[in-house]
Structure 1
Amino acid sequence: MPLHLAAPFRRLAAHRQVLTLAAVTAVLLAVAPTASARTIPRHKHPRIHAVRNILLNVGLPGIGLLLDDDDVPAEDGQKYELKLVRQGGEIIDVVYRVGDTYIPDALNQLSEFLHDTHNEEVKDYDPRTFDVLHTMLAKLGRSTSAIEILSAYRTQETNDALRASGTTNAAEHSQHIEAKAIDIRVPGVPAAQLRDAALSLNAGGVGYYPKSQFIHVDTGPVREWTFAPHKVRARSKARAKHSRHRRA
């Protein structure tokens, strides 16, 4: 292309990108629920699903596309299946993705299954969380294994109550509140192996709880930690003893 034509074309392309971004932003602002509505049960706030459609269908890297509710998923392509079990015995076994395409109804079922058990409220889960679980099991050669769910979505109120109880190490700004985190066990698989498989994905946060033999995975910032309360207590006692000696 002649040089005198190249610059106008570049300006036109940049202008179109700005217009596209502005259009997406306008739609998000129009359909996004208010902050107070984010933890209300799904059937009362269908706009949450609309926002998720927009975000996923712009082609974010590393995830699939989300079908419209009336579309039929392609039959070819890898099937992503999860079998989850809650502590009360409730079970779900569902194919939530085929190839690069997420299945809306299956995502809805999974989100409802992972509701806050303290108040039955539901929030749409980040589907990448399901990809983390599926890929982690595949790495371990346990694709068909059931995953035991210890903790899933939490409302802000539930998270605050857990923090106040002092019985957990729930973070103030937990990814559970954003429906991006799950605490799990897989029967027959040591938690250390689950941790290593999850860490190899480099897909978000991974917490290791050796005493209780479970792990936390989320799709937030990449980070890792090990929770060993007995070591924390030992260090606290040592500091207290040292402080008493100094006062004496």
Structure 2
Amino acid sequence: MKVLVPVKRVIDYNVKVRVKADGSGVDLANVKMSMNPFDEIAVEEAIRLKEKGQVEEVVAVSIGVKQAQETLRTALAMGADRAILIVAADDVHQDIEPLSVAKLLAKVVEEESPDIVLCGKQAIDNDMNATGQMLSALLGWSQAMYANEVAVEDGQAVVTREVDGGLQTVKVKLPTIISTDLRLNEPRYASLPNIMKAKKKPLEEKTAADYGVDVAPRLQVVDTKEPPARQAGEMVGSVDELVSKLKEKGVV
């Protein structure tokens, strides 16, 4: 069985994001970039399935700029077997939209014929939460989103996920698309020997044009702003005063 894991290069989650002075977008100059945390969880889960003997090969794929090679090398150092980079943009500020990503991934799926596409539920930079669902629609495959537990048995995937009021378990036939939630696992750190080994693992580079997919943006960012500063609280002396203040502000 083969698992395909899409990974995205994003601003490191520990970095405080800065907005450009002209409001045209986020400042990426000299900013640390890393693998999208949800994608990192997907890579870890794919590797765990391989360690259980249920998966023979884990293939990581990234769509974006050439610098995403670093992200793929991280996936290879964690334990992925090989990687595919699809260069779809020259400018690091250009974000490839979910539909274009899904179309490219559909082409990769046709070539690779994986049994499972294991992806993060969303990217922390644009929070679209759409690529997995779009890929499922394009391929006509089953989907199980927001997984916090995954098991593969008898040609099916059993996925448990959090829903309002509890947990829901769904069983889907393979091939399928599964997206990972935050509590699925804790990704491992890549050891130094594995980082060195990752440099020798195959990394194939292609372009969006090789697949005949138009990645021109359909959306335009009009303006980008910092969130408003949180206002200071107001101390009250009693419950009655609190209720009165809430009524004044129209809260109750």
Instruction: Give the TM-score category using the shorter length.
Output: under 0.3
User: How does the TM-score come out when normalised to structure 2?
Assistant: 0.22
Flag the structure with higher strand content: 2
- Quick check: which has more Rg, 1 or 2? 1
Pick 1 or 2: higher relative contact order, CA cutoff 8 A, min separation 6: 2
User: How does the TM-score come out when normalised to structure 1?
Assistant: 0.22
